């Protein structure tokens, strides 16, 4: 059933490293060949072999309204007709910035970039520039893009100077990255005792890159308190949770608020875009208003802005969407858990708004190490069998899943029916 994909993958491997432009797409953690996608429509993906899947990935988050939403498609086509890029200001950028600024009390200005990686990298430069400090605190299992200083390997769980997790990243570039354990308050406090040079804490307040693992309220409150006491800034990386966990992302459902927010793919509704935002005071330090340099030829690209603007307006017009998406996410993961239990399989599940996650393990993980104890073999088999039955889940237990408005209750019921067959043999 995957003949054309297998051939396409072999051909791609000849000219693209590993056959893919982003490693997760190669299905390395579950094995097998990734289906090559021909098109998407609403809830569904269609591969080059003509297989149809219910898409629980939705381009890793951006497509809240599913594939080829008519309003977004129209805006993209109309904007495209006027030109793809000018490298000059457009009204669309201010319009989208206004839509974002008016949503958050703690945000006065936004700058657009072209990816989540860029957004986070720039936010960290801003934090360092504003505080005049060098160290950054990052948590094991949180992913913040592939810039050098953030590619830091999990250590012992104790705060430690980070060591690079990729060849090509000199240790000198990660020595200012302090690694702490997610949801571990004592560990974080110790980190602040050990360094007086901390510019910022960067955190996924709802982590989606070790499966879906939310930070506890108490842990986030400690992040806030330690930043305030020590002259550091708190950055919420909402590249994944922004406009997904709720209309206002994680910030909309958590008590703790950050100084700087980073956004990504979701605001572009599928177009390449990212953004970082903070108070007017903080953001005014950016060039050309201030001295901290940051730039991008394609930043604020009109087509991406147009897509984001329509998507955000649609979300704002119907805030109930998040409850509806969460109901569907709950129906899916609770259904999976029930089936797993009937088959004597332990499954832990989480949802936040339209995001969901499930882990084959005995207890709900609260940090990266605990996620590492899950049954990855079982996940791989589940993933394979579900793909064969037409259900496209994220290809790693370290990834979250995403619901879209186009996935129907019938799609979910069909998925559960398939899962009940698959789980019998897991
Ligand atoms: N931060 C988070 C929380 C992410 O999930 C991602 C990507 N999944 C990034 C940053 C990097 O974004 P991009 O892949 O657009 O560079």
Beta strands, E only, 95-172? 109-113, 135-139, 160-161
Pocket lining: 237 vs ligand 1, CB cutoff 6 Å: yes
Q: Do 93 and 106 touch, CB atoms closer than 8 A? A: no
Determine the residue of 215, 239, 245 to mutate for testing ligand 1's pocket, defined as the one with the most ligand atoms within 8 A of the Cβ atom. Answer: 239
Is-above-0.95 flag for pTM? yes
209 ligand 1 Cβ < 6 A:
yes
Quick one: average pLDDT of 407-421? Answer: 98
pLDDT at 290 over 80: yes
pLDDT value at residue 156:
36
pLDDT (average), residues 414-426: 97
Residue 265 CA, closest ligand 1 atom number: 15
Mean pLDDT of the chain: 95
Rounded-to-integer distance, Cα 249 and Cα 31, Å: 32
pLDDT at 163: 72
**pLDDT single digits (tens) 307-331:** 999 999 999 999 899 999 999 999 9
Query: What average pLDDT does this structure show over 117-141?
Result: 97
Instruction: Name beta bridge partners: 139.
Output: 180
Give the ranges where 241-375 is alpha helix by DSSP (H).
280-283, 302-317, 321-342, 368-372
Best CA proximity match to 353, nearest among 380, 374, 322, 378: 322
The pLDDT assigned to 153 comes to: 60
- pLDDT tens profile 151-206: 886 333 334 566 778 889 898 999 999 999 999 999 999 999 999 999 999 999 99
Of 1.10.600.10, 3.40.640.10, 3.30.540.10, 3.40.47.10, the CATH number of 70-317 is 3.40.640.10
Residue 355 reports pLDDT greater than 60? yes
State if residue 34 touches ligand 1 by the CB under 6 angstroms criterion.
no
| pLDDT on residue 41 | 98
Q: Whose CA is nearest to atom 12 of ligand 1?
A: 116
Give the residue, by CA position, lying nearest to ligand 1 atom 10. Answer: 144
Residues annotated as part of the active site: 143, 237, 265
Rounded Cα gap, residues 84 and 156, in angstroms: 47
114 lines ligand 1 (CB under 6 A): no
Q: Is the confidence at residue 3, as pLDDT, over 70?
A: yes
Place of tokens 């875009």: 273
Residue 425 Cα, ligand 1 centroid: separation in angstroms? 35
Atom of ligand 1 nearest to the CA of 209: 5
Report pLDDT for 171.
87
Looking at 3.40.390.10, 2.60.40.420, 3.90.1150.10, 1.10.3720.10, the CATH number of the domain 3-56+320-424 comes to: 3.90.1150.10
Residue 161's pLDDT is what? 62
CA 60 to ligand 1: nearest atom: 8
| Closest CA to ligand 1's atom 5 | 240
| Alpha carbon distances (Å) from 221 to 54, 190, 215 | 38, 16, 10
Q: What's the pLDDT score for residue 108?
A: 98
Q: How many helices (H) and strands (E) does the chain have?
A: 13, 17
Q: Is 116 in the pocket of ligand 1 (CB under 6 A)?
A: yes
Task: Give the model's pLDDT for residue 253.
Answer: 96
Task: Please say if the pLDDT value at position 146 is more than 50.
Answer: yes
Q: How many CA atoms lie within 13 A of 284 on its CB side?
A: 4
Q: What's the pLDDT score for residue 159?
A: 43
360-379 pLDDT, tens digit per residue, is 999 999 999 999 999 999 99
The string of pLDDT tens digits covering residues 326-350 is 999 999 999 999 999 999 999 999 9
> Domains of the chain: which residue ranges?
3-56+320-424, 70-317
pLDDT in the model for residue 390 = 98
Say yes or no: CB of residue 238 within 6 Å of ligand 1.
no
pLDDT on residue 158: 36
């Amino acid at each position: 059933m995957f003949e054309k994909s297998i051939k396409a993958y072999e051909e791609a491997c000849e000219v693209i490293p590993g056959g893919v432009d982003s490693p997760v797409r190669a299905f390395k953690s579950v094995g097998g060949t990734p289906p090559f996608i021909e098109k998407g429509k609403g809830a569904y993906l269609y591969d080059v072999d003509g297989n149809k899947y219910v898409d629980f990935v939705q381009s890793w988050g951006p497509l809240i309204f599913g594939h080829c939403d008519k309003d977004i498609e129209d805006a993209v086509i109309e904007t495209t007709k006027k030109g793809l890029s000018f490298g000059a200001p457009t009204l669309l950028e201010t319009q989208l910035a206004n839509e974002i600024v008016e949503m958050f009390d703690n945000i006065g200005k936004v700058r657009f970039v072209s990816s989540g990686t860029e957004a986070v990298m720039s936010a960290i430069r801003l934090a360092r520039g504003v505080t005049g400090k060098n160290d950054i605190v990052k948590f094991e299992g949180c992913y913040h893009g592939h810039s050098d200083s953030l590619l830091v390997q999990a250590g012992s769980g104790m705060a430690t100077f980070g060591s690079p997790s990729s060849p090509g990243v000199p240790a000198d570039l990660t020595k200012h990255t302090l690694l702490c354990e997610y949801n571990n308050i004592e560990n974080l406090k110790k980190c602040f005792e050990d360094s007086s040079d901390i510019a910022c804490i960067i955190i996924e307040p709802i982590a989606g890159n070790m499966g879906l693992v939310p930070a506890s309220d108490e842990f986030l409150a400690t992040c806030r308190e330690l930043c305030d006491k020590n002259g550091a800034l708190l950055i919420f990386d909402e590249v994944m949770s922004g406009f997904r966990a709720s209309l206002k992302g994680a910030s909309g459902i958590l008590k703790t608020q950050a100084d700087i927010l980073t956004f990504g793919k979701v605001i572009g509704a599928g177009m390449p875009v990212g953004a970082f935002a903070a108070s007017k005071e903080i953001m005014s330090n950016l060039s050309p208003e201030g001295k901290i340099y940051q730039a991008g030829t394609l930043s604020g690209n009109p087509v991406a802005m147009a897509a984001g603007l329509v998507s955000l307006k649609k979300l704002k017009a119907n805030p109930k969407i998040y409850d509806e998406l969460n109901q569907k996410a709950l129906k899916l993961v609770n259904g999976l858990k029930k089936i797993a239990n009937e088959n004597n399989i332990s499954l832990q599940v989480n949802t936040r708004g339209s995001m969901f996650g499930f882990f084959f393990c005995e207890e709900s993980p609260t940090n990266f190490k605990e996620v590492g104890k899950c049954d990855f073999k079982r996940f791989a088999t589940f993933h394979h069998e579900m793909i064969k039955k037409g259900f496209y889940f994220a290809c790693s237990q370290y990834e979250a899943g995403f619901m879209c408005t186009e996935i129907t209750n019938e799609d979910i019921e069909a998925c559960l029916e398939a899962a009940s067959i698959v789980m019998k043999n897991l």
